[in-house]
Structure 1
């Protein structure tokens, strides 16, 4: 069991890196040079929501990146709008600007195209759903492990 477990861990890490490469390739194809792949993924995950930097961090999609730094850059390049909370001036919320919404639309089109191409390879929704169930179980296992470790 240990060997397949380690293979899965390595594959998950490689898949994440490869997915970031896919986003970078699309940015290059579109001629977009003022944003990187990790920042684009942050925009995709915000989408039409308004979130705090803390909420973005808790989502944990940003392995090896500093969310605060990336949010600052996204505000500077015009992809995000950052506003102080009316009720708690210490808290700021971010939302996509029109420029951010435009890019997210283009990335969503990439996702749709990738999904169609993937289906043509024989990897359909059922297989992806099974993989998602397995990965969700692994995530819960790791979350429970971490919780138990802090309770000791």
Structure 2
């Protein structure tokens, strides 16, 4: 089990990096140079919502990068609009600009092409559903390990 667990961890990491490469290749194909792959994923995850920086962080949309830096660049390059809350002037909300909405539509088209090709040549929808169930189980397990005392096994807790 340990060997398979370690293989899964490495695959998840490698798949994430490879997926970022796919996004970068699409940006290159589209001739878009003022945004990077991580920032593109942030935009896609925001989509048509209005979110605070805290919500972006809590949802994990920053993907390990500095969220403040990425938001600053996205606003500077006119992919995001940043506005102060009318109710709490300390809080700012971000939403996609027309330029950001256009890019997310193009990335949505990439996802559609990818899923069509996957379905026709590589994996079935059911196989992806099963893989997603396993990944969600891993996420729940890892989340349970973050809490106080969760790293202790049943024997250590009893003794």
Q: Under a length normalisation based on structure 1, what TM-score does the superposition of the two structures give? A: 0.96
Q: Who is 2:29 aligned against?
A: 29
Once the two structures are superposed, residues 84-137 of structure 1 have per-residue CA deviations (whole angstroms, 9 ceiling, x without a partner) of 000000000000000000000000000000000000114111110000010000
Q: Does 1:45 align with 2:40?
A: no
Structure 1 residue 151: deviation in Å? 10
Specify the structure having the higher radius of gyration (Cα): 2
Paired with 1:52 and 1:150, the residues of 2 have a C-alpha distance of 31
CA gap of 1:122–1:22, structure 2 versus 1, over 3 A, is: closer
Q: CA RMSD in A?
A: 1.5
TM-aligned CA deviation for residue 6 of structure 1: 0.6
Distance 1:148 1:9 in 2: 23
Tell me which residue corresponds to 1:54: 54
The aligned residue for residue 99 of structure 1 is 99
1:7 aligns with 2:7: yes
Q: Matches of 1:45 and 1:64 in 2, distance apart?
A: 14
Instruction: Could you tell me which runs of 5 or more consecutive residues in structure 1 were left unpaired when the two chains were aligned.
Output: none
> Does 2:125 match 1:137?
no
Note if 1:72 corresponds to 2:69.
no
Divergent runs of 4+, >3 A: 61-64, 148-152
Normalised by the length of structure 2, the TM-score is 0.92
